[in-house]
Structure 1
């Protein structure tokens, strides 16, 4: 078995173990699996929508939000979740909900609901986001900014 095949099989095994919540012992110690997020709801407590019909396509993005910056107002058209690798991030909705994240926190994102993220910290925020969409469809739509939100500067 070549090195790539062993790597692929090992990676697949990790996915299976993660799904089952099992801990395996091996000669180097103990492999630990931690569920970072598992929910039928987005971070606002509302149920996630059904997956779209069509050929599934997974997109994984690394997003870096510089210290002191904000993302544009946007919405996601598909179910997505992320893990903040470093920094701090506060996600906001237009109706005043917010959620503060620190490095290591996970987030099941809002779907079809306008929101933005703000990095109020002193270091860049880095987040890995996994999108479960369909082939050829955009996973995020940037929206025009609303100038009436006290928490959100027009950008």
Structure 2
């Protein structure tokens, strides 16, 4: 048999093996059911909040216009109190640290601390205050409209 045919045959087998391994190994490594250790799942998804209305009972409606999602990281020092305001879009908040106390003009109130989530009021006038000894760190996500303010001051 011709020497070059033997080399080409061996080379083809090697390339086929390398190609197969190159496809199979990443697929095995990405198996979502594979555990990273004896007792730990590789991904854990936990829904922190799912809401159709805010903490004070506002039903949500999306404003008309070009949609814009916004995520804000808010740090409020102890004693900071927002002015009266409202939001014209739905939103949700997650308190990382500190404590918040919020009150709406309709008399409903909310107190939240670290690890807690809440659905923000839409179109209801309210304020929030950072209470306690440490600054509040809060992440707020809003589903608004491009060019529209996320927080609108209330003018009497």
Shift of the 135–24 alpha-carbon distance from structure 1 to 2, 3 Å rule, reads: farther
Choose between structure 1 and 2: higher strand proportion: 1
Shift of 1:95: 2.4
Structure 1 gap segments, 5+ residues each: 1-22, 147-155
Structure 2 gap segments, 5+ residues each: 1-31
CA RMSD in angstroms, aligned pairs only: 1.8
Choose between structure 1 and 2: higher helix proportion: 2
Alignment length (residue pairs): 122
Work out whether residues 68 and 145 of structure 2, in 8 Å CA contact, stay in contact via their aligned partners in 1: yes
Shift of the 27–54 alpha-carbon distance from structure 1 to 2, 3 Å rule, reads: same
Work out whether residues 60 and 131 of structure 1, in 8 Å CA contact, stay in contact via their aligned partners in 2: yes
TM-score by length of 2: 0.72
Deviations 1:114-133 (A, max 9, x none): 10111221000110100101
Which residue is equivalent to 2:152? 141
TM-score by length of 1: 0.72
Structure 1 stretches of at least 4 aligned residues deviating more than 6 Å after TM superposition: none
